Amino acid sequence: MPEGRKPLATKWVFVTKKDAAGNPTKRKARLVAKGFLQKPGVDFSEVYAPVVRPSSLRLLLSVVVRRKLLLRQFDVESAYLHGKLEEELYLQVPEGVTPPTVMTRPGLKLIKAIYGLKQAGRVWNKTLDVKLRSIGFEPTKLELCLYRNKDRTMFVSVYVDDLIVAATTIGGTDRVVGLIKEDFPLKELGEVRDLLGVRLSYDRERGNLKLSQPGLAKQIYNEARVGRFVSTPLEGGNTASVDDGEEIQNADQYRTLVGKAMYLATMTRPDLSFAVRYLAQSVASPTELDWKNLMHLCRYIGRTENAELNYNVSTVMSGVITYSDASYASEKGRTSVTGYATFHGGNLVSWGSKKQGVVAQSTCEAELIAGNEGGRDARWAHNLLQELGEKTQAPLLRMDNSGALALVITEGVSPRSKHLEIKYLWLQDQIQQGSLNVEYCPTDHMLADCLTKAMPGKRLRELTAMSGLQLNDLKSDARLRGRMLDQLHPSIRFREGDTWVQTQPGLTGERIWCLSAIALVRIR
């Protein structure tokens, strides 16, 4: 090893992989570098590596359903080990390995990347990109990890080492996979059933696809150790409350549960988006009120753990339709909330719930800001679909505020709207160019409504049903008696009748109270 160079330390990492239902599938041991010891400009330069975004992946799945394409999944074995390094790096001799010769300054020169290096992800991504381009695929401009062939009949989605291949024939897939195998070992996983922790059920003949995350939802519910179910993600009266209390002692658990719920909301559960966004604002210093709201959300997640996002072939809807809505001055600090939901062919592919960055001075302004967000999402979906070979008309933006609608279809600004930032008038330009259509949507049919505020249970179910999200509620106490009684808390076990017995001291009153889901509960 050259003078002046210091080798990077290493460690062994042991991992147990699980499927979407939480069942162990594989145990692995891997040698990794302690990349946090790397020096910028010496050991690495660029580190960014893209992955396919969830919204882009769902849009691809919608195209797959509409075209009735074949879906197959592959995993590149030890992906990071295939990329060649540009930098000169050295490793310490790993624990348990004896150097073949006597070294005055022991060190192993790295030729290829290994896990733990800061640039390992980028090196692998560039290596795979070169290979896919060499066999006739090009990345889309809007999604660098979504590749298409020249005639746009075959697609490859990349998430680090997970590859999804969509094609019209098995032969086409086999040909592409064979070419990739020339450089990288691929493990064929067959039909796509478990994708990034999402359970996927695809019936090609019927043109139906379902996305769900029952394993993660069940895990959240069990870790929260709550009992009774509720019909809404968040209680309506708590979103504008101000709680200046002290930080709770179990703040780490709060952050963990919010993070897991956030992944649910991002991948398959738009009904959780508003509640998760609201709770995420307090992760730095959660209070008792925040904890109460989180436990409410976990009870709802437990009730709807089998929820499924459905994609179907629609004979009525073929293009892109986006619903945008706003809840005026509903947040702390009197800011408003933006909600948008984008559909392709009737399938929900993108959604969001965001606090607006400026204080709107009227409902009309709040709706205009939300419309801008929704319009941009609609244009993104339309442009990406064109790159995938879909022929669609200009996207449609639906708004339920007549004042905001009149503002975007009229050229210029009125005296009452002259203070608005120019970017919010982008909608006017898009409409005049014919790049975006806009129309009024009755409030009863505004599918983005549940993304802006806490909704009553009945109204929430109406909106989720219209959006293609089937909640599959679990309502019976029998289910509580079955799975939950022995999992609510290790200090409690179910005994005769409806009696709970505390088997060890230290169980708090709050924990005992939340176990009263069956009826009358007695603690000895």
pLDDT above 70 for 475: no
Tokens 């769902």, residue located: 58
Predicted local confidence at residue 224, as pLDDT: 94
Q: How far apart are CA 395 and CA 124, in angstroms?
A: 36
Asked if 403 and 364 touch (Cβ cutoff 8 Å), the reply is yes
pLDDT band at 470 (very low <50, low <70, confident <90, very high): very high
Q: Residue 321, SS3?
A: strand
Predicted local confidence at residue 99, as pLDDT: 74
pLDDT above 90 for 218: yes
Average pLDDT of 51-67? 97
**Each residue's pLDDT tens digit, 338-386:** 999 999 999 999 999 999 998 998 999 999 999 999 999 999 999 999 9
Token duo for residue 488? 């609510």
HSE value, Cβ hemisphere, 13 Å, CA-based, for 215: 15
Asked if 76 and 55 touch (Cβ cutoff 8 Å), the reply is no
Q: Which of 328, 347, 350 is nearest to 338 (CA)?
A: 328
CATH number for region 319-456: 3.30.420.10
Per domain, the residue ranges of the chain are 10-209, 319-456, 488-524
Predicted structure pTM score: 0.86
